[in-house]
Amino acid sequence: MIKVNAMSLTYPSGKGVHALDFSVARGEVMGYLGPNGAGKTTTIRALLGFMLPDSGSCTIGGLDCQKQAPEIQRTLGYIPGEITFIDGMKGDEFLSFMLEMRGLSDQRLQKQLLERFELDPRGSIRKFSKGMKQKLAIVTSCMHDPDVLILDEPTSGLDPLMQNRFIELIKDWKQRGKTILMSSHSFEEVERTCDQVLIIRDGMIISKTDIQTLKDTRRRGYLLSCDDAAAAEKLLRHAGFEVSSVDDTIIEVFITGDRMDQFIKTAARCTVRDLEMKQQSLEHVFMQFYDKEYDDHDL
Amino acid sequence: MICRPLFKATIRKNRSLFILFLSVLTLYMTIMIAMYDPHDMEAITAMLDLFPEQMMSAMGFSSMITDVNSYLASWLYGLLMLGFPLVYCVLLGNRLVVKMVDDSSFAYLLSSPNSRSTIILTQGLYAMISIAVLFAALFGLGVLACSVAFPGLLDVQGFFMLNVTTMLVNMVVMMICFFFSCLFNDTGRATALGAGIPIAFLLMNILGGVTAEAKVLKDLSIYGWYDPISVASGNTEARVNLWYLAVALLLFAASILVFRRKRLPL
């Protein structure tokens, strides 16, 4: 459905994307992960037809993203990474305006979505909170029942409850056979919605994996407090885990997705006082993943 | 092919700007007409003679004024009807395109099934029409005010042609602003050129009127291609009008072309 062929798009600063190659099949939900400045938004700009690539091409549903942008837009839903609505409009005015711009008049889906996200669109958009603006952008992107959705960090600014609502929405759309490309820098969000994940860094796709592999690769740190930390460390090390000692009573154990069960069973042999998951920054997680990729492919 | 919902939204969004400028110009026009005294033109001429001649001719004020047509052409259409609309053109030109590209709300216009050409055509058409409506309103107002204050004194035909030519030169200014609004992605550069070039033309027109040697400046300025007093007295400048129209349309076409091809950082 979405096809990107050897596409390069370089800015005068030298940044951009280089020889990008990927495709998203019909009905697939593709996560698009990468740190800030990696080229996620640039890819999306090319797909939306805002920027002509220097070389290569991209198509959606067989239509060229630059030459046939208006036709593509008929069945495309888009959430910009940086959302700015048209100045001076009220929320409900904006929704009607966008429907009219598409030549549509059916407001049923729009009403359903507003209820789903508990959004009252009346009032000036300028006075909306960040979360309300994000909700308005979500409703705008879906209210014409598009076949393809391109979402640039769709849940930023939403509270956890609404993030869950959004994830449910994506799952619904997925069941109805929509094709979705969703950029994000949240592993959790991608983990819960996507089938496949593309990882981009410095303008190059460094990996395309299915979600299970990503989960397995992902290494979590757990802080384990025991009566006899030294013994526990030895035991776990013996079982093949990566362990480091934090202080006399606490050790840190690193676990990849598929070894959780083994870890619990091994740790159960000690007297456990506390077990805590260590919060990891996204950069940290990325670094781990990238390092692994470097090892695997010897890039 | 224009985009109707966008056109409607553009009208709604820029209505107050239009009303503001129409009100200011209406105010000036009414005051100017009220100040005209057909029996006492000698007094005005005498007052003008108090000022240095160069200064007066720079401002486009001629001491040859006797009838109401030349009075309006010189006092109102010589500078005010160029300067105020210039500010309007700069503000409107910015609002129609580059401001929305700069703050990236333009992404929403393009995420509808309308091509870039359609959107720019719609915005540019609003710009041209609003200038036309502005001068149509001012023409109507002038005729009305004169017929109330001095029935039968205004040569409506001449006054109409004066409004046509002034409208056309302002359309050129509008399209200069619009072109730079389409060319650049940031408001700063678009304003610098969109406002700078017409202001330079206006200054050249003023300075060119001071002495005979400086007349070349006036000839180079788009504002200097016609003499308002002569047009108001019934000498239609058909060729100049056509030139203005051609330049405005050329700039409009160029605006669409540059916008179609460029990269938009949305």
Rounded percentage of chain A residues whose pLDDT exceeds 70: 92
DSSP H stretches of helix in chain A: 40-48, 69-74, 91-101, 108-116, 130-142, 160-175, 187-193, 211-217, 229-238, 260-267, 282-297
Contacts of A74 in chain B (CB under 8 A): 113
Residue with tokens 């239609």: B236
Backbone region of residue A16 per phi and psi (left: phi > 0; alpha: psi in -120 to 50; beta: other values): left
Contacts of A88 in chain B (CB under 8 A): 13
Q: Which two tokens stand for residue B51?
A: 């000022």
How sure is the predictor about B41, in pLDDT bands with cuts at 50, 70 and 90?
low
**Residues of chain B in Cβ contact (below 8 Å) with chain A:** 3-6, 9, 13, 99-100, 103-105, 107-115, 118, 261, 263-266
β pairing state of A250-256 and A242-245: antiparallel
| CA-closest candidate to residue A109, choices A150, A81, A139 | A139
- Pick from A154-158, B97-101, B236-240 the range whose average pLDDT is largest: B97-101
Tell me: pLDDT of A295 over 60. no
What does A138-157 look like in DSSP terms, one character per residue? HHHHHTT--SEEEEESTTTT
pLDDT tens for A113-125 read 999 999 999 999 9
Report the distance separating Cα A227 and Cα A197, nearest Å: 41
CB contact under 8 A, B112 and A84: no
How sure is the predictor about B42, in pLDDT bands with cuts at 50, 70 and 90?
low
Report the distance separating Cα A128 and Cα B24, nearest Å: 34
Report the range of poorest mean pLDDT among A228-232, A289-293, B115-119, B248-252: A289-293
In what helix (H) or strand (E) does residue B230 lie, and over which residues does it extend?
Answer: helix B228-232
User: Is the distance from CB of B115 to CB of A67 less than 8 angstroms?
Assistant: no
CB contact under 8 A, A86 and B266: no
pLDDT score, position A298: 38
User: Is the distance from CB of A157 to CB of A134 less than 8 angstroms?
Assistant: yes
How many CB atoms sit inside 10 A of residue A26's CB?
12
Report the distance separating Cα B82 and Cα B221, nearest Å: 13
Residue of B4, B6, B104 with shortest CB distance to A84: B104
How sure is the predictor about A297, in pLDDT bands with cuts at 50, 70 and 90?
very low
How sure is the predictor about B101, in pLDDT bands with cuts at 50, 70 and 90?
very high
For residues A86-102, give the mean pLDDT.
Answer: 94
pLDDT score, position B221: 94
> How far is B17 from chain A, CA to nearest CA, in Å?
13
